[in-house]
Amino acid sequence: MHVLATIAGVGLLLTVLMDAFETVILPRRIRRALRLSTFFYRNTWVPWIRIARRIRSANQQENFLGYFGPLSLIVLLALWAAGLILGFALLQFAAGGHVQLNGQPVHFYGLLYHSGETFFTLGYGDIVPTSKVARFLAVFEAGMGFAFLGTIIGYLPTIYTSFSRREIEISLLDVRAGSPPTAVELIGRFGSSPRQDIVDQIFRDWERWAAQVLESHISYPALSFFRSQHNNQTWLGALTTILDATSLIIAGIDGIRTEQAKNTFAMARHAVVDLAQIVNARYDPHIPDRLPPEELVKLRNALSERGLKMRDGTESEQKLAYLRSLYEPYAIAMARNLFINLPPWIFPEKKRDNWQAGPWDRAIQAKSLAALGGRYEHLQRIDDHF
């Protein structure tokens, strides 16, 4: 019995400590499938999605999904702590040599309580270890509990710092590419005669952002489940939009050079391929076409209305199709796993950006309209300017 308790205790401690080390401290992607945190996320995210599908309101559904990321961290940390407490309790049970102040025999449940108060350094002293092994385990567990709590105190701010850094660029994309963002809006808002240095700087910023997302999401996979602040913004949608836009430029748009677009595409594609493995995305040969021929015609016309001409010919279309094949299967598979809607290449009608919407807008516009004597066309021209 004591031998089995020792084996179970050591095995449980090693499993929890290795999983916590790989999740919190080790900044590398772990390819091993048999992990406690992997098992946890795969068996909690799917039921969470099933519940979310029953919510009819899109806003309430997104809010519900937004709880999973932060809540999963708390539950996972609690599971680690519970595993360590149980593991030490098993070792204390195998070691023996404990005295209870009231003189009653110490059963396993008492040792589990003793392990919990030792791990969290409460030190009530109502159960006292008397053997050398039991005392060593008590001191070792107290030190590990202190180290565990200290590591967690540093872990959570790091997670939220990475999240904040990710979301800043996504919010900046709102005014450059619409809400939700699309490749046509991003390129179209460069203007009919875009300055190459401005275009390159924007793509250079997004090249760095893609590298930061890759680094942070590999180091802290839980970030993949953290939703953005606005319901029509997602980190995967932003990454896909950048890939769409750079693909169009590489395929050929008159007046825009392709050097920086190629670099940004390469980095963004690297990110989407590696992160697809992090979220356990699977290849689907029957993925829907995000840009069928009729949508490509609309895309050309939309760019033409902005004064930008996409190159004609089979070669340009084949290049675009090839570039899309390099990232769209990964992005679509990730979107399915994470329950995210990817943005289209182009919207059938103009949508308001997030900055153009506010709770007082109708009242303010009605007041402005009255001040202008009912000249709605004047307000509409101002709005269309943006």
Q: Which pLDDT tens digit goes with each residue over 329-343?
A: 999 999 999 999 998
Residue whose token pair is 């825009």:
256
- Claim to verify: residue 210 and residue 349 sit in the same structural domain: yes
Q: Which of 246, 275, 244, 276 is nearest to 263 (CA)?
A: 246
Average pLDDT over residues 312-318: 85
Report the greatest alpha carbon distance in the chain. 91
**Does the pLDDT at position 384 exceed 60?**
no
Query: How many domains does one find in the chain?
Result: 3
Q: What burial class does residue 264 get, using C-beta atoms within 10 Å of its C-beta: 0-12 exposed, 13-18 middle, 19+ buried?
A: buried
Name the β-bridge partners of 100.
Answer: 127
Inter-axis angle of helices 259-278 and 235-252, nearest 10: 140
Q: Is residue 202 part of a domain?
A: yes
- Claim to verify: residue 127 and residue 233 sit in the same structural domain: no
Query: How would you label 148-180 residue by residue, b for 16+ Cβ within 10 Å and e otherwise?
Result: beeeeeebeeebeebbeebbebbeebbebbbbb
**Does the pLDDT at position 375 exceed 90?**
no
Out of 125, 153, 181, pick the residue that ends a domain: 153
Mean pLDDT over each residue of the chain, to the nearest integer: 86
- Claim to verify: residue 41 and residue 74 sit in the same structural domain: yes
Per-residue pLDDT of 247-297, as tens digits, reads 999 998 888 899 999 999 999 999 999 999 888 888 888 888 999 999 998
Out of 121, 153, 185, pick the residue that ends a domain: 153
Termini Cα distance of the chain: 75
**Does the pLDDT at position 300 exceed 60?**
yes
Which amino acid does the sequence have at 379?
L
Q: Is the dihedral of CA 122, 123, 127, 128 positive or negative?
A: positive
Question: What's the pTM?
Answer: 0.85
Taking the C-alpha atoms of residue 93 and residue 11, their distance in angstroms, rounded to an integer, is 15
Q: Which of 81, 82, 64, 91 is nearest to 24 (CA)?
A: 81
The DSSP symbol for 341 reads: P
Taking the C-alpha atoms of residue 232 and residue 354, their distance in angstroms, rounded to an integer, is 9
Q: Is residue 316 part of a domain?
A: yes
Domain that holds residue 368: 361-385
Q: Is residue 68 part of a domain?
A: yes
- Claim to verify: residue 85 and residue 175 sit in the same structural domain: no
Average pLDDT over residues 360-372: 67
CA separation, residue 126 to residues 4, 82, 114, 156, 282 (Å)? 27, 21, 8, 33, 53
Per-residue pLDDT of 220-251, as tens digits, reads 889 999 998 888 889 999 999 999 999 999 99
> H or E segment at 237?
helix 235-252
- Find out whether 318 and 247 touch, Cβ atoms under 8 Å: no
**Does the pLDDT at position 316 exceed 70?**
yes
> H or E segment at 44?
helix 36-53
Q: Is residue 191 part of a domain?
A: yes
**Does the pLDDT at position 385 exceed 70?**
no
- Claim to verify: residue 220 and residue 315 sit in the same structural domain: yes
- Claim to verify: residue 343 and residue 207 sit in the same structural domain: yes
Q: Is residue 253 part of a domain?
A: yes
Spatial neighbors of 114 by CB under 8 A, at least 6 apart, are: 89, 92, 98, 106, 127, 129, 138
- Claim to verify: residue 274 and residue 296 sit in the same structural domain: yes
Q: Which of 237, 239, 243, 235 is nearest to 320 (CA)?
A: 243
- Claim to verify: residue 62 and residue 90 sit in the same structural domain: yes
> H or E segment at 184?
helix 183-188
Q: Is residue 204 part of a domain?
A: yes
Pick from 188-197, 300-309, 369-378: least confident = 369-378
- Claim to verify: residue 206 and residue 130 sit in the same structural domain: no
- Claim to verify: residue 239 and residue 314 sit in the same structural domain: yes
- Find out whether 155 and 24 touch, Cβ atoms under 8 Å: yes
- Claim to verify: residue 373 and residue 314 sit in the same structural domain: no
- Find out whether 190 and 176 touch, Cβ atoms under 8 Å: no
The predicted pLDDT at position 379 comes to 46
- Claim to verify: residue 128 and residue 222 sit in the same structural domain: no
The predicted pLDDT at position 114 comes to 86
CA separation, residue 150 to residues 70, 134, 156 (Å)? 19, 24, 11
The predicted pLDDT at position 150 comes to 86
Q: Is residue 159 part of a domain?
A: no
- Find out whether 241 and 202 touch, Cβ atoms under 8 Å: no
Out of 153, 176, 195, pick the residue that ends a domain: 153
